[in-house]
Chains A and B, each alone.
Chain A
Amino acid sequence: MMNAHTARGRTARRRMETKDVVLIALFCAIIVVLGLVPPVDLGVAGVPITLQTLGVMLAGAVLGPVRGALACALVVLLTIAGLPVLAGGRGGFGVIPGPTGGYLLGWIPGAFVTGLLVTVLATRPRSRLARQAATAAACLVGGILVVYALGVPWTSVSTGLSLRQSTVTALYFLPGDAVKAVVAGLVAHNVRQAYPIERR
């Protein structure tokens, strides 16, 4: 549950400051709000999708790996504490053993990997297009590959479906998530241009 917190001691060059805690809480709030607001229609096969997972990728891409993962861990903590913070007002401890519990927990490593890849890939290229593409690619890998890697087996354990069948259910959400990853990449790139902060 609190695995992400272990990253704090090792990777941080300097210790957690108040501003880091504030940023984590702010992005946690953004993730929650993106699940509460009516979904923006991204026009993919009529599937109504909320922007909540977009917030997860955004947290990793804007804040960096450690703080991004901690923002997601905070959402998980609030969920367990019984607050209706997930899309559609879901919440409570029951979410974790449910079919989607793995996706929720997968947000933590997902945001971490997104942040890590953005740091490695997207800070070096000179051209704007290359940086945008690299940020979007980081969101695709962290926000989809890593999250699904935890979510799909979890669904299979929770529901008794075989791995292949739960992969098929996940594929239904893939187009929407892919669009969200690209949007998250563009948003993160623009945010970093408009208001660059130190990434950690």
Chain B
Amino acid sequence: MTPRLSLYVPGDTPLHRVPAAWKLAALLLSGVGMFLVTSPAVLGPCAGLAAGALLSVRTPPRQLARHLTGPFVVLALVVVAAVVFQSAATAATVGLRLAALLLAALAVTLTTRTSEILDVLERVLRPLERTRLVNAAAVGLAVSLALRFIPEAFHRFHEIREAQAARGLSGSPLALLVPLAVRMLKSAEDIAAAVDARCYPPPPAARRADAAPSPARSPAPAGRTDEEATG
């Protein structure tokens, strides 16, 4: 009933063993690079390379086909539109570029655990914490809560849908969404209390009070700890 919540495919291919940070950095750089290049002679080999990387992952073919059909329908539409409205050269550039990006991104997505990607993101965010605009611990908490709530929301949605269908209200978005949102809002209070009761995320005040603070975290500014301690 509950949908599977990750695209990761377990394995031990070379691409699986590359650290997640390297894969993501390479993906980002190649993504930017490919938007600067317009020559199909360069983009063609790039697409080939990405396809090779994807094949090296050795995903079950049926699973691979399922991941690729959706994006490639869009890709086909884009190429057809480019041929009709512009030139064949533009179509080749755009098609190869998008194909290369899609294949490379899928290769990274299939070989990297969600938790690894989130770790990298949290590491990227941590230096920004010093500017007081981002709280990496809160981002981590939000992500783990969201992952827990998605199956929950799915379950509630179906519960409400069945209840409304029994009353003859099937297909009315208003009758579905209002109870769903209200139930979610109502439960927020309890969940927040439960999270607070477990002292997560660790408040900066507690971190500072410790004689040996965890080295990964920067000490919080003084004004902020007082506010959070009282609030």
Contacts and interface: CB of A to CB of B under 8 A. Distances in A.
B188 A19 contact: yes
B117 A195 contact: no
B188 A191 contact: no
B117 A80 contact: yes
A27 to B, nearest CB: 7
A197 B185 contact: yes
B173 interface: yes
Contact of A15 (B27, B70, B224): B224
Contacts, number: 215
Nearest to B91: A160
A30 B153 CA distance: 6
B7 A84 contact: yes
A194 interface: yes
B210 interface: no
**A interface: dominant SS:** helix
Interface residues of B, number: 79
Interface in A11-62: 14-19, 21-30, 32-33, 36-37, 40-42, 51, 54, 58, 62
Contacts of A78: 143, 146-147
**B interface: dominant SS:** helix
A25 B180 contact: no
Given A2-B128, A18-B196, A97-B101, A28 B178 contact: no
Contacts of B8: 82
B85 A81 contact: no
B75 to A, nearest CB: 9
Contacts of A89: 3, 70
Interface of B: 3, 5-8, 24, 27, 31, 35, 70-71, 74, 78, 81-82, 85-86, 90-91, 93-94, 98, 101-102, 104-106, 108-109, 112, 114, 117-118, 121, 125, 128, 131-135, 138-139, 141-143, 145-147, 149-150, 152-154, 157-158, 171, 173-174, 176-178, 180-182, 184-189, 191-192, 195-196, 224, 227-228, 231
Interface of A: 2, 5-6, 8-9, 14-19, 21-30, 32-33, 36-37, 40-42, 51, 54, 58, 62, 70, 74, 77-78, 80-85, 88-94, 96-100, 157-162, 165, 169, 183, 186-187, 190-191, 194-195, 197
